[in-house]
Amino acid sequence: MNVFEKWRRLQPQRGEGLPFKLNFDWNKGKPPSPRGEGTGVGRAPFAALLLLFALPFAYLLLLSLAMQWRFPLLLPEGLSLEHWQLAWRIGGLADSLGLSAVCAAVVALSSTALGFRMAHAIAAHHRRRLLVAIAYLPYAFSPVIYAFCLQFFFLKTNLAGTLAGVLLGQFLLVFPFSVILFVNHWTPRLRNMEALVYTLGGSAGAAWRRVLLPVSRPALLNGLFQTFLLAWFEYGLTTVLGQGRVPTLPVRVYQYIGEANPYFAALGSTLLIWPPLLLLWLNYRYQNRTHAAFADR
Amino acid sequence: MRKRLPTIFLLLTLLPLAAGLAYALAYSLGLAGALQAGLTTQHWQAVLGSPAVWFSLVLSLLVALVVVVLSAALALTTVLVFHRELGSNPLRFGAYWPLALPPIVAAFWGFQLLGNSGLLARLAAATGCISGPQDFVPLINDPWQIGITAVLTMATFPFFTVVLHQFYRSEQLPRLLELARSLGATGQQCHWRVTAPVLLQKLRPLMVLYGVFLFGAYEVPLLLGSQSARMISILIAQKFRRFDLQDLPQAYAITLLYAAVVLAVLLVFRPGRQMNGSV
């Protein structure tokens, strides 16, 4: 058994966490054997499917660059950066982009850090199943309805319509997801490794610094990535608790749609979808490199 | 500190939700808020007797059910047909692209694709099927929720595909299929008696959880839904945002109805406990 195989065995065993494991573990498993995997239909239909998946990304970019795109033309009449320059100058898109990035980064960092630590405590708790079930409640609730439930308290504490209020609201939404994500990471094996540090005279700090955090780095990066996406995409809760005064990128996109300005809406959408795609790609590369490093040992 | 962590966890997860729902209950019973006039059930009677509320609840449940079933069927078909490509094709990264689409953008994309001057209408005009936007069949803001269902399915099925393909490998399906074939199973039998049951059984908890999410979907119905047939989150949001304060107690009552449905589904199906296929 190589090191990579050992690492895989440290992965979740118990069943209270997310009912799926989307850890972008791109290279797990061997290439399929022709006999064992049945019949594939070839590359061309698969490429056609991928083109369908890529269509919104290309279309929205094209629409944002279009000078005019009237019915029934299949392609824009011309391309220019006019909308980009205009939106950047007067539309406040740069501010919204920065605001969204800051919000998502703060929420992702705080919820990942606290969720990771909390999941460690919950995984060893005698009421683990109940606590994990509770984590599902806010996560399963529609964010916009959750925000309406919280609105009164945010108004009373003067948090409604402020950046701090939006950050807190998003954290309350993303943090339970982070706990659910990490609770299965704390397997008995990992806990035994921690116990071994204590047996050998190490302190709690040393256990975290020297063993738990290094071993958990891929899981932490994955958690950071997924929580960032959740906060980056958030619209319903932000619009209720922000009361229109915290114009993150999704709020701005909806505003442009409401103003019947498809070019600016497409521009905002492009800004909203391309950074996550870049992150997805970086995650892909990271997993590839990690896999290669493990395979080389 | 370590002993206090579960308490902090409850403070951050259960307390806000419980406080919000308790306030909603008090408001809907006339015990809180600007309009409080003592205990009354009139708002609940109005909500429970309103056909629009029940219609919204049933509509939301139906849309969620149809989207989940369609997405699961599409994802299963995709994995059955493209399992080899999803595992080894250099382009397989493309299968993950739709995960980068937030709901608000998916809704806008749906509007641009399905609208009567959208991409499909332009294609129909280019092929001579229609002469103008007015001839194109209404696919958005329609009473049958075709646009909402289509866009939610387009957003959900790629995610199901990625997860099903991970299950395909984690459940060692190639080995199971080899065993089935060595016992005399045909290709079709392998698909429908081995692959589909194993994958769908694994996917079931996620289907339930996604069904709950879709039941409360907001952005897509907000942009693509009709005014006459509203999904539950839109109905609640409209009640909260009206200028008439008399609507607020009803808005809170409908919120509690929504919460009851979500809690019931989570309690009955317990999606978090079924990861290994055991119910």
Helix, strand, or coil here: B85? helix
The pLDDT, as a whole number, for residue B243 is 73
The pLDDT, as a whole number, for residue A6 is 43
Mean pLDDT of B86-99: 83
The pLDDT, as a whole number, for residue A297 is 52
Q: Please list the residues that pair with A66 across neighbouring strands.
A: A79
pLDDT over 90 at B62, yes or no:
yes
The pLDDT, as a whole number, for residue B1 is 63
* Residue A194 belongs to some domain of the structure: no
Mean pLDDT of A91-100: 89
Nearest CA distance, A297 vs chain B (angstrom): 23
Phi, psi (rounded to 5 degrees) for B80: -65, -40
Residues of A in contact with B163 (CB under 8 A): 20, 22
Closest residue of chain A to B248, computed from CA coordinates: A148
Q: Which of residues 157-196 of A touch B (CB under 8 A)?
A: 172, 175-176, 179-180, 184
* Residue A77 belongs to some domain of the structure: no
Band of residue A22 on the pLDDT scale cut at 50, 70, 90: low
pLDDT over 70 at A234, yes or no:
yes
Residues of A in contact with B97 (CB under 8 A): 50, 53-54, 57, 277, 280
- Taking the domains of chain B in order of start, what are their residue ranges? 16-49+242-279, 63-232
Q: CATH code at A152?
A: 1.10.3720.10
Distance CA B209, CA B110 (A): 23
Say if the Cβ atoms of A137 and B266 lie within 8 Å. Answer: yes
pLDDT over 50 at A27, yes or no:
no
Mean pLDDT of B121-137: 92
Q: Which CATH architecture has domain B63-232?
A: Orthogonal Bundle (1.10)
Radius of gyration of chain A measured on its C-alpha atoms: 23
Mean pLDDT of B231-238: 95
pLDDT over 80 at B271, yes or no:
no
Say yes or no: B163 contacts chain A, CB-CB below 8 A: yes
Per-residue b or e along B130-159, where b marks 16 or more CB atoms closer than 10 Å to that residue's CB: beebeebeebbbbeebbbbbbbbbbbbbbb
* Residue A80 belongs to some domain of the structure: no
Partner-chain residue, chosen from A36, A59, A114, that has the shortest CB–CB distance to B112 = A59
Q: Which domain holds residue A145?
A: 92-185+217-297
* Residue A280 belongs to some domain of the structure: yes
* Residue A178 belongs to some domain of the structure: yes
Mean pLDDT of A96-109: 96
* Residue A296 belongs to some domain of the structure: yes
Say yes or no: B108 contacts chain A, CB-CB below 8 A: yes
- Of all residues in chain B, the percent with pLDDT exceeding 90 is 67
The pLDDT, as a whole number, for residue A34 is 42
Nearest CA distance, A162 vs chain B (angstrom): 18
* Residue A2 belongs to some domain of the structure: no
B-interface mutation test, from A16, A137, A145, most B Cβ less than 10 A away: A145
The pLDDT, as a whole number, for residue A9 is 45
Nearest CA distance, A166 vs chain B (angstrom): 14
ipTM of this complex prediction, to 2 decimal places: 0.91
Band of residue A150 on the pLDDT scale cut at 50, 70, 90: very high
Residues of A in contact with B14 (CB under 8 A): 134, 137
Q: Which of A213-217, B63-67, B196-200, B266-270 has the lowest mean pLDDT?
A: B266-270
